[in-house]
Amino acid sequence: MLDRLLEHQTLIDTVIRRKFDGLTIVQANRLKLAALTPDDWDVLRALHHVLMGFDIATTIISASRYPTLSDSFWAITKLRQILILNKDNSRYTELLKKSALNYLDIYVQKHLSKEQQEGMLISAFLDPETHNDLNDNDLTKAMKIVKQKINTISTNISTALTTTTTTPLSLSSTSPPPPPTSSLSSSHAIMSKKTLCQTAHESISWN
């Protein structure tokens, strides 16, 4: 609606200020009240400018045919950049940007848990389309979280491997041991996962 209103500003001003024959006093007064001052138009332009970023971001993350977790992080980051940038802003635009940025931060902190925010960051880090848009701080934070996750997985696998190899030794003499084939198969699978995690860990540069 703001698009159409601003697009037809000249036409709207002309119609409202034109003197129509046959109007009653009440109708004429209502028409005058509908007139927009130059200051009013400045406010509308500022509002349109600020809301445009939110409109684009909402369109991107409202998709249902592709994953949007990484796009959500990208959208929030870009919105913050737009709202923080104060180059060539009118006083109305600056006020609206400060207010919108404040509400955006409040919404993120209130409705997104730490795990959800980290999930969006990692998704953006692993997505080739958004990876290059991450700043140095986000890249460092993402790599740190990924490293912690890999270490946790490696620890869990090591624990599972230890449990698998020691459990048969503690079995009662009256209980038959499990079939060797199944035990070897399970150990082999766990070792493969452990090797895969170690390989991934060594392949990533953390500097």
Domain boundaries, the chain: 1-36, 37-134, 138-166+180-207
Q: For 161-198, how does the pLDDT look when each residue is reduced to its tens digit (9 = 90+)?
A: 887 665 554 444 455 555 444 444 444 434 433 443 34
Closest to 50 measured CA to CA, from 10, 7, 106, 90: 90
Q: Dig out the tokens for 66 from the structure.
A: 């592709």
Q: What is the CA radius of gyration of the chain?
A: 30
Cα separation, 13 vs 167, whole angstroms: 85
- The DSSP line for 70-120 is HHHHHHHHHHHHHHH--TT--HHHHHHHHHHHHHHHHHHHHHS-HHHHHHH
State the Cα–Cα distance between residues 86 and 95, nearest whole angstrom.
10
pLDDT at 17 over 60: yes
Round the average pLDDT of the chain to a whole number and report it.
Answer: 78
Burial of 67 (0-12, 13-18, 19+ CB in 10 A): exposed
pLDDT tens digits along 84-114: 887 767 889 999 999 999 999 999 989 999 9
The 10s digit of each residue's pLDDT in 152-167 is 888 888 888 887 665 5
Buried b (16+ CB within 10 A) or exposed e, 172-207: eeeeeeeeeeeeeeeeeebeebbeebeeeeeeeeee
